[in-house]
Amino acid sequence: MLALNKVLANNLTVYRREMRLMGNKFEISVVGNDPVWAGEKINSAITEINRVEKLLSTFSEDSEVNAINRNAGIKPVKVSAEIFKLIDRSLQISELTYGAFDITYYSGYKTDAHQDNDTAISSYTIVNYKDVVLDATATTVFLKEKGMRIGFGANSKGYAADRAKYILQTEGVSNGVINAGGDLLSWGLQPDMEPWTVAAADPRQQNQPFADLDISNMAVATSVNAEKYATINDKKSGAPKPKNGFTVSEIKSVSILSPTAEFADAMATPVMTIGVNAGMYLINQLNQIGCVIIDDHNRVYPSKGINIA
Could you read off the pLDDT of 254-297 as tens digits, one per residue?
999 999 999 999 999 999 988 899 999 999 999 999 999 998 88
* End-of-domain residue from the set 125, 150, 175: 150
* Strands (E) located in the chain: 13-21, 24-32, 77-78, 104-106, 132-135, 140-143, 148-150, 176-180, 183-187, 219-224, 251-258, 290-295, 300-302
Could you read off the pLDDT of 18-62 as tens digits, one per residue?
999 999 999 999 999 999 999 999 999 999 999 999 999 988 888
DSSP H or E run through 6: helix 2-11
Identify whether residues 185 and 46 lie together within a single domain. Answer: yes
Q: Is 74 exposed, middle or buried (0-12, 13-18, 19+ CB in 10 A)?
A: exposed
pLDDT value at residue 171: 98
Q: CA dist 195 to 79, 233, 262, Å?
A: 39, 46, 22
pLDDT value at residue 5: 46
pLDDT value at residue 292: 95
Between CA 121 and CA 108 the distance in angstroms is: 6
CATH code of the domain in which 32 resides: 3.10.520.10
pLDDT value at residue 175: 97
Identify whether residues 127 and 265 lie together within a single domain. Answer: no
Count CB neighbours of 42 within 10 A.
22
Yes or no: say if 159 and 185 are a contact pair by the CB < 8 Å rule: no
* End-of-domain residue from the set 150, 180, 199: 150
CA atoms within 13 A on the CB side of 214: 10
Identify whether residues 187 and 49 lie together within a single domain. Answer: yes
The structural domain count of the chain equals 2
pLDDT value at residue 108: 67
> What is the pTM (predicted TM-score) of this model?
0.85
CATH code of the domain in which 87 resides: 1.10.3980.10
Identify whether residues 178 and 291 lie together within a single domain. Answer: yes
Identify whether residues 305 and 235 lie together within a single domain. Answer: yes
Identify whether residues 75 and 48 lie together within a single domain. Answer: no
Identify whether residues 126 and 163 lie together within a single domain. Answer: no
Identify whether residues 110 and 140 lie together within a single domain. Answer: yes
pLDDT value at residue 44: 98
Q: CA dist 250 to 77, 221, 242, Å?
A: 43, 19, 14
* End-of-domain residue from the set 150, 176, 195: 150
Q: Residue 177's Cα: distance from chain center in Å? A: 15
Identify whether residues 299 and 189 lie together within a single domain. Answer: yes
Identify whether residues 248 and 100 lie together within a single domain. Answer: no
* Phi/psi-derived region of residue 99, left when phi > 0, alpha when psi is between -120 and 50, beta in every other case: left
* Sequence letter at residue 37: W
Identify whether residues 159 and 146 lie together within a single domain. Answer: no
DSSP H or E run through 51: helix 35-55
pLDDT value at residue 101: 95
Identify whether residues 12 and 109 lie together within a single domain. Answer: no
Q: Residue 188's Cα: distance from chain center in Å? A: 21
Written as tens digits, the pLDDT of the chain (309 aa) is 433 444 455 689 999 999 999 999 999 999 999 999 999 999 999 999 999 999 999 888 889 999 999 999 999 999 999 999 999 999 999 999 999 999 999 986 554 444 444 444 444 457 899 999 999 999 999 999 999 999 999 999 999 999 999 999 999 999 999 999 999 999 999 999 999 999 999 988 888 888 999 999 999 999 988 755 433 333 333 343 444 444 444 889 999 999 999 999 999 999 998 889 999 999 999 999 999 999 888 899 999 989 886
Yes or no: say if 63 and 82 are a contact pair by the CB < 8 Å rule: no
Q: What percent of the chain has pLDDT over 90?
A: 72
Q: Residue 271's Cα: distance from chain center in Å? A: 13
Give the domain range for residue 118. Answer: 64-150
